[in-house]
Structures are given as C-alpha cells and as structure tokens.
Amino acid sequence: MDSLTQIVLGAAIGEAVLGRKVGNKAMLYGAIAGTIPDLDVFSSYFTDTVSALEIHRGFTHSIFFSICFAPLFGWIVSKYERFKDVKGWSWLFFWAFITHPILDAHTTWGTQLFWPIDYPIAFKTIFVIDPLYTLPFLVFLILAACQKRDAPKRRYYNNLGLIISSSYLLLTFGLKGMAYSQFKKELESQQIAYTKLETKPSPLNTVLWSANVDTKDHYLIGYYSFFDEKPIHFEAYPKNHELLGGLILEKKVKRMIHISQGWYSISKKEEQIFFNDLRFGLLSLKPGAQNFVFQYEIKTDASGEVTFTETVKNREDAKQLLSDLWKRIKGN
C-alpha cells in the first residue's frame, strides 16, 4: 500500500500496543515502524532493475524480518526513552512490522511474507491506494490522538478505525468474488477458451474490476463495473513471446518472467524490444492502448550483458486515466 496508509496502520497498531503507557509516542513509533519495510525501495539506487524488483517486498516484508528485527528496534528505543520496557517496545515494532506486509499481500504486487521461501502472496483485492480504506482510518486515528492518554474514547476511536479498515479488507474479498464470477460467466457466454483468469480492482476503488485472461496466443483484458448493463468487452493483446528469440535463455529474462508470474507480453518498436508486465494493466481504458503501467526496454550491450530499463510514464496518461475511470465506474 502507499506510504500514508502504512503510516496510519502503523500508528494505530502502536497505539493499540502501548498507547495507554506512552501516549502519542506509541503512534509516532508505530508510524515509523510502519514505513521501515518499504525502505527496500532504495535498493534501486544500488543494483540493477531486475534485482531491485526481486528485493522489493521481499526480506523486509517477511515474517523472518519482523521476528528478528523487532527486538533490536525495541532495545534501541528503550535505551533513550523513559519507558524502559524492552518487551513492550519490541511487541510494538513486531506488530507494526508484520501488519505492513499482511496489508501489502492484498494488493496486486503482493509480498514475500514467507521469505526466504519463494512463495509470493497477492490476493489482489485492493488497489495500492484506496481512499475508502485509508481516509476513515485516518479520521479515527486523529480523533484518538486528540484524546488524553487514559481517556476511554482514545482506545474506542483507535479500535473503531482498526475494525472499520479490517472489515473493508474482508469486504473486498466478497467484491472480488462477485467480479470473478461475472467475468467467468461472460467468457463462457462468449465461448472464449482460456487457461487462466485473474481479477484485480482498478485504481482507487473496488467498484470497477479488471481481468487478465490467458488464451493460447493472446492475453485478454476486460473491465467490469457493478453498475454495468452491457456485456463485457475483452481487448486482445498478442503474447509475442517468440520475439525474445535467444534472449529467452538469458538469466535476467527468466527472472523477469518469474517476477511477472508468467503474465507478460513482448512488443517491438523498430529495433527496440519491450517486456510488458500485464499484472498491473495499462494507463488507459481506451481500446488498443499500449501504455502498460510497467514496461521495460530490453537491451544487450557490447559484452552481451542484458539489462532492463523501465520506460518513463507520461503524466498526461495518468490524468486522462483518472477521468476515464470515473466515467467507466458508472457503467458501460
């Protein structure tokens, strides 16, 4: 999830663990702990693109990290804070650390919760930024912070925020199931043969859902809103895996295919070859759009070294997408 959401979640967890004993400092340290796992993004400054993608939401988002590093941070904080309970601080950091990847596991990117075991978890029930999850949570956190440390309303507001946000997460599973059933029904109605179907929410909401459909030579992408009245239209994108040629044997290419969980297509512009990660869709709802959210140019230097470079996104595409999303959410 986005940084603000993780800060809010971490602060609420901190309050739940130590709020009565240390007041707003529990929220402060919880917020800090809630952001620490995402420091793995800085790996992109020290390594190549493929390695950085593998590192992101890996080690720092694991149960292993939470168990091993919570006591260390708890000990450090207890050294200079008046509240000297190492166990209490460690418990705060553990729950702030572990709830971070659990929340991330609901997104499309998912997380390596069981690192070093290579078993990524991605429920794909919520977009990385969802106002319906974050804003009510934030309001109740602020209300809690405004209360005195031992005030009953403080714990009431904080717990209410945790309950509402968690309930919304559970609701997204039901919404995903409804969308999945509708996509499956439509594929059968249109007599489309497929081997795999995956659904995910579109940006900023859980009303409009998109589907990736794996067929023999193409991937199909379709959208469904709970307000739709017309049949779902599926846009076809050729896999073009053969365009990789001998590159398919390169280690970095194999690693990228593994990262994308097999949901990738290859496109070619003049002599440039691009790797498109289909899990995150496109920055457009228009038919035939090619501006994938995550697209990487594959290059081979003079020494034969293969590199992946992410293409620069157009801000205008993002602005247009927001406008198109609002229209599409209201139905086809």
Q: How far is CA 248 from the centre of its chain?
A: 27
d(CA 99, CA 112): 13
Q: Which domain holds residue 237?
A: 190-332
Query: Do 213 and 329 lie in a common domain?
Result: yes
- Paired with 196 in beta bridges are 214
Question: Per-residue pLDDT tens for 42-67?
Answer: 988 889 999 999 999 999 999 999 99
Mean pLDDT of 62-84: 96
Smallest Cα–Cα separation from 291: which of 270, 262, 311, 271? 311
Residue 180 lies in a domain: no
What does DSSP say about strands 234-238 and 264-269: parallel, antiparallel, or unpaired? unpaired
Residue 329 lies in a domain: yes
pLDDT of residue 332: 87
Residue 177 lies in a domain: no
Query: Do 320 and 234 lie in a common domain?
Result: yes
Residue 182 lies in a domain: no
The region that residue 155 occupies, defined by phi over 0 for left and psi between -120 and 50 for alpha, beta otherwise, is alpha
User: Band of the pLDDT at 189, cuts 50, 70, 90?
Assistant: very high
Question: Per-residue pLDDT tens for 230-283?
Answer: 999 999 999 999 999 999 999 999 999 999 999 999 999 888 999 999 999 999
Mean pLDDT of 197-201: 97
Query: What CA–CA distances, in Å, run from 105 to 7, 49, 246?
Result: 16, 22, 34
Mean pLDDT of 200-206: 96
Residue where a domain terminates, one of 171, 200, 222: 171
Query: Do 154 and 223 lie in a common domain?
Result: no
Residue where a domain terminates, one of 137, 171, 205: 171
Mean pLDDT of 15-34: 96
Domain count, the chain: 2
Question: Per-residue pLDDT tens for 92-136?
Answer: 999 999 999 999 999 999 999 999 999 999 999 999 999 999 999
Query: Do 122 and 59 lie in a common domain?
Result: yes
Query: Do 259 and 326 lie in a common domain?
Result: yes
Query: Do 269 and 146 lie in a common domain?
Result: no
Query: Do 163 and 196 lie in a common domain?
Result: no
d(CA 1, CA 135): 13
